[in-house]
């Protein structure tokens, strides 16, 4: 399947191992991993950063294999989940950065075009989040208020 706003058609990517059990050499227990996840979330880490740091420091390949639930579910149970989903947050951050650039360089027509692409991606991504209740049903992206969402 092709990409949304580019020419790529590739489908390559990493795949998870077939075996769902934690490796024999994995030392941390489920409670230790949950504790570490909560500690990192309180420091302001995003779920993907938490996964990367667990992989690099504790050797945890997949949190779900050890604890039985994903990082975001652990955060939701403990009341530490982010208000805006991570993928949407990064798209809004990108739009704010492009907007800030366009304030300085008004003639950058290529930048204006790409801002429209990013904003259309944001609008497209919010639809399912509003349907399943992750975002409020009346939540709406507005470019002039976007900088307050990512600050």
Local structure of 148: helix, strand or coil: helix
Q: DSSP readout, 8-62? A: ----------S--SPPTT----HHHHHHHHHHHHHTT--HHHHHHHHHHHT--S-
Taking only the tens place, the pLDDT of each residue in 58-111 is: 999 899 999 999 999 999 999 999 999 999 999 999 999 999 999 999 999 999
> pTM of the full predicted structure?
0.85
| Cα distances (Å, whole numbers) of residue 77 to 71, 74, 82, 136, 145 | 10, 5, 12, 19, 30
Query: Taking a C-beta distance cutoff of 8 angstroms, is the pair 30, 68 a contact?
Result: yes
The answer to whether the CB of 66 falls within 8 A of the CB of 28 is: yes
CA-wise closest residue to 41 among 17, 65, 71: 71
pLDDT of residue 104: 96
Cα 38 to Cα 32: distance, rounded to the nearest angstrom: 10
When the pLDDT of each residue in the chain is averaged and rounded to a whole number, the result is: 92
Residue 32 has what DSSP assignment? H
């Amino acid at each position: 399947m092709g990409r949304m706003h580019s020419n790529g058609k590739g489908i390559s990517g990493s795949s998870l191992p077939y075996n769902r059990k934690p490796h024999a050499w994995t030392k941390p227990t489920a409670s230790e991993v949950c504790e570490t996840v909560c500690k990192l979330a309180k420091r302001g880490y995003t779920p993907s950063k938490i996964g990367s740091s667990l992989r690099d420091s504790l050797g945890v390949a997949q949190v779900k294999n050890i604890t039985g639930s994903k990082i975001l579910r652990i955060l939701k149970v403990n009341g530490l989940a982010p208000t805006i989903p991570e993928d949407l947050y990064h798209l809004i951050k990108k739009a704010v950065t492009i907007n800030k650039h366009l304030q300085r360089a008004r003639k950058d027509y290529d930048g204006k075009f790409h801002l429209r692409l990013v904003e259309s991606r944001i609008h497209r991504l919010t639809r399912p989040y509003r349907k399943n209740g992750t975002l409020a049903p009346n939540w709406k992206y507005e470019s002039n208020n976007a900088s307050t969402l990512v600050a």
